Amino acid sequence: MGVERVRAVQRRLSEAAVDAVLISHPANRRWITHVSASDASPSAHAGWVFVTLDDAALVTSPLYYGEAIHEAVGVRVVLAANRVHETFADLVRQASSRRVGFERGWFTFQNHADLTGALAEWAAPVEVSDLVEPLRAIKDEDEVASIVRAVALSDGALTAFFDEVRPEITEREAAWFLEAYMRTRGSEGVAFEVGVATGVHSAVPHHKPGDAPLGIGAPIWIDIGARVDGYCSDITRSFVLGYPSDEYRRLWQATMDAQKRALETIAPGKTGRDCDAAARDHLTEHGLGELFTHSLGHGVGLMIHEGPRLGRSSGDVLTRGMITSVEPGIYRPEWGGIRHEELVQVTNNGCAILTRTPNVVSI
Amino acid sequence: MGVERVRAVQRRLSEAAVDAVLISHPANRRWITHVSASDASPSAHAGWVFVTLDDAALVTSPLYYGEAIHEAVGVRVVLAANRVHETFADLVRQASSRRVGFERGWFTFQNHADLTGALAEWAAPVEVSDLVEPLRAIKDEDEVASIVRAVALSDGALTAFFDEVRPEITEREAAWFLEAYMRTRGSEGVAFEVGVATGVHSAVPHHKPGDAPLGIGAPIWIDIGARVDGYCSDITRSFVLGYPSDEYRRLWQATMDAQKRALETIAPGKTGRDCDAAARDHLTEHGLGELFTHSLGHGVGLMIHEGPRLGRSSGDVLTRGMITSVEPGIYRPEWGGIRHEELVQVTNNGCAILTRTPNVVSI
């Protein structure tokens, strides 16, 4: 599988008008090499991948070398005894590469100065973009298996939480319960900081858990994701504890129906815009369009947000094998919010929902 | 305090030969503005800070605006209704700035293209480096107070762990115990992934916890850090469960003595090189210099690794108010490793050790 990924990158070199490429973005590097080493930042990096038409190598420092040798698939691992950019430049010269692409969305001016300094006059670094990302958007069997395992962990956490939940539990305590459940059962950290919001806090799409008790009858949403083999899951459930108001029921159901419309729309050939519009139009028909303040969804994989984008202006075309969130949400300031999120896999003629936790309006 | 930090940045503008600067590095942005919003990456950023001689503003998107308004100290918060770089360019024009610095170690080619596009021909973006970092290296009272609270959490976790530890606990279980202790008592996540290594694993300075039981008589080290108000702590303890071998005792003590030599060296005016040499020379005298494969230490603050660097080739000059780790370590492949790490604050004439957990060779 590693070899196939390298070949897919190699096939894109001529399109990008380069004869070699430097991949430094952490998720792209991991996808090509299977090496899990993670970076603090573009400046403290776990290595650069060098891909030419007939070679692929990960150049890394002694700190990551042992792990890289153990994990790498489809690429050579080259130890940078001194500095990564110098060893990388040696590979460029050995391969007689003259045009070396680098990723404009991740490469910093410092990286560029280091590389050009080491290359001297040998080769010209050239900006490239979206070279690996479109490949990553379509998941192979191994990737789907990892995501399904991550989904099982987040589903399990929600189910266990619903068994335990009491109105006096605070957002922060709930968040910790959910994280501890996933982490102690094999999740590598969390896919993103656990989101728990109650009452007026739930009107803030990215609210951070605080000391508010969940309470009875307040709009609550929980947004969590686990991580397995580097791959994320992502799920949101919205509910109240006790009896929901008629207004809550109405908005909850409208958002659920909007999601259903989007799920019915998703299929190969549809654009991100088409899917977003299906949900948004439904909410607009019910006078709620203005409250849907974010996009419908995003691809999920080694990154919690990746391609395809499902939003108002997204021309991304869905393809079999993509995995994306579908998460319409409405937020009424000073009242609260509701978001329903499933993770789905695009199939031959529609989509399969991976998330399993039932949607219930009250607990 | 926020205002003082802005003034300190403003004083550096002329030195950098710019009349405004764009600060996008997350720790630098947080240090100037006190806004805690964090970034996934240089491309998904929580805002850009604009500083001129007489103004300071954080330009941020609706996603972060509410939080930013609430937290900001010493800077205006400007909402980017559309895209951050466009609103930022408006500020540049309003301020009549013609030379705008950007951080070469964090700014990507995509960021640069966005900014130059929005500025059109108005102003020239100029690379700057280490504009804010040297300021961040010297901690004010509030910063010290946060770090001391983080230290108390990591000390507390180690103490609680030493009360509970049994040889059958695995590295992973130990790591989770330590993380859960800190997280449930106020640590914002962890400063870095908890390190626990036993036996031959301890010979790998950055070993990730696995399923090995700690065991009796094996070399063990634990490396943890908590986070409070964004500020990190960092501490390592090395020990065996049960009776240490004579060889372990010898190496443990040699490393302890090396640390002592470094601690006695640290004072204003000394360089990172001086401090590193004090520990390294001691180990070399005992025939262990080759096993000390990393640097002596690093500054700790909003980032777990920041200035000053205490290493073989570091000319960084220590100043009162700096906070740094002091962590000599020796690693013998196929046998194990020992690292002793304290966090210290540089004082008027030496240093004060902030970490409190006793160093014991066996538990």
- The CATH number of residue A285's host domain is 3.90.230.10
Q: What is the predicted pLDDT for the residue at A128?
A: 97
DSSP letter at A200? Answer: G
Mean pLDDT score, B282-286: 98
Shared domain for A105 and A174, answered yes or no, is: no
Candidates A66, A113, A206; nearest CB to B204: A66
pLDDT band at B41 (very low <50, low <70, confident <90, very high): low
Residue B108: which of A40, A106, A183 has the nearest Cβ? Answer: A106
Nearest to A108 among B107, B176, B305 (CB): B107
Task: Answer yes or no: is A225 within a domain.
Answer: yes
Contacts of A183 in chain B (CB under 8 A): 176
Probe site for chain B from A29, A36, A41, A204 (most B CB atoms < 10 A): A41
**Would strands B76-79 and B55-60 be described as parallel, antiparallel, or unpaired?**
parallel
Residues of chain A with pLDDT under 70: 1-2, 39-44
Q: What is the CATH number of the domain that holds B95?
A: 3.40.350.10
Q: Which chain B residues are closer than 8 Å to A29 by Cβ?
A: none
Among B86, B117, B135, identify where a domain stops. Answer: B135
What is residue A206's predicted lDDT score, i.e. its pLDDT?
Answer: 87
Taking Cα atoms as reference points, which of B73, B79, B22, B21 lies closest to residue B48? B22
Per-residue pLDDT at B124 = 84
Q: Which residues of A touch B189 (CB under 8 A)?
A: 193
A–B CB contacts, 8 A cutoff, strictly below: 62
Residue B37 confidence (pLDDT) above 90: no
Query: What per-residue confidence (pLDDT) applies to B44?
Result: 67
Q: B305 vs A40: CB contact, 8 Å cut-off? A: yes
Residue A361 belongs to some domain of the structure: no
Angle at B351 between CA B143 and CA B192, to 5 degrees: 50
Tell me what pLDDT residue A45 has.
79
Same domain for B127 and B216: no
Q: How far is B350 from chain A (nearest CA, A)?
A: 30
More reliable by pLDDT, B82 or A146: A146
Output DSSP code: residue B200: G
Contact B41 A206 (CB under 8 A): no
Which residues are bridge partners to B96 per DSSP?
none
C-alpha to C-alpha distance for B335 and B219, rounded to whole angstroms: 8
Burial class of B294 by CB neighbour count within 10 A (0 to 12, 13 to 18, 19+): middle
Percent of chain B with pLDDT over 90: 93
Q: Which residues in A lie closer than 8 A to residue B129 (C-beta atoms)?
A: 110
Asked if pLDDT for residue B321 goes beyond 60, the answer is yes
What is the structure's pLDDT at B96? 95
User: Could you tell me if A117 and A144 lie in one domain?
Assistant: no
Residue B192 lies in a domain: yes
Tokens for A248?
């809550």
**Residue B179 to residue B195: CA distance in whole angstroms:** 10
Place of tokens 């993770």: A343
* Phi (first) and psi of residue B298, to 5 degrees: -155, 150
With beta carbons under 8 A apart, name residues in chain B contacting A180: 180
**Residue range B248-265: average pLDDT?**
98
Say yes or no to pLDDT of B248 above 90: yes
Chain B residues with CB-CB distance to A43 below 8 A: 105-106
Q: Give the gap in angstroms from C-alpha B348 to the nearest C-alpha of chain A.
A: 32
Neighbours of B163 (CB within 10 A): 8
* Closest chain B residue by Cα to residue A188: B193
Q: How far apart are CA B337 and CA A79, in angstroms?
A: 22
Q: Are residues B28 and B120 in the same domain?
A: yes
pLDDT of residue B66: 87
Is-contact A257 A174, C-beta < 8 A?
no
pTM over 0.80: yes
B-chain CB neighbours of A127 within 8 Å are 109
Residue B363 belongs to a domain: no
Together in a domain, A104 and A167: no
- By C-alpha distance, the chain B residue nearest A27 is B41
Q: What is the largest CA-CA distance in chain A?
A: 72
pLDDT bracket for residue B63 (50, 70, 90): confident
Average pLDDT rounded to a whole number, residues B209-234:
98
Place of tokens 């680098």: A102
Residue A145 lies in a domain: yes
B184 in contact with A at a CB cutoff of 8 Å? yes
Do A175 and A255 lie in one domain? The reply is yes
Number of domains in chain A: 2
| B332 shares a domain with B225 | yes
Residue to mutate among B60, B109, B291, with most A CBs inside 10 A, is B109
A185 touches chain B (CB under 8 A): no
- Residues 6 or more apart whose CB falls under 8 angstroms from that of A151 comprise A226, A233, A235, A343, A354, A355, A356
Tell me, yes or no, whether A98 and A156 share the same domain. no
* B169 belongs to a structural domain: yes
The reported pLDDT for the residue numbered B198 is 98
**Alpha helix (H) residue ranges in chain A:** 2-11, 26-33, 62-71, 84-94, 109-119, 133-137, 141-164, 171-183, 246-265, 272-285
Are A119 and A43 contained in the same domain?
Answer: yes
Same domain, A43 and A185: no
- Cβ of A105 and B110 within 8 Å? yes
* Mean pLDDT (whole number) for B3-13: 96
| Same-domain check for residues A182 and A37 | no
E strand or H helix at B197: strand B195-198
A358 CA to chain B: closest CA distance, Å? 29
Beta-carbon neighbour count of residue A264 at 10 Å? 12
Taking CA–CA distances from B105, the nearest residue in chain A reads A110
Q: Is there a single domain that holds both residue A40 and residue A57? A: yes
Out of A65, A100, A135, pick the residue that ends a domain.
A135
Q: Which domain holds residue B122?
A: 2-135
Does B165 fall in a domain?
Answer: yes
Q: Which of residues 75-94 of B touch A (CB under 8 A)?
A: none
pLDDT exceeds 60 at position B1? no
Which of B135, B165, B198 is the C-terminal boundary of a domain? B135
Confirm whether B362 is domain-assigned: no
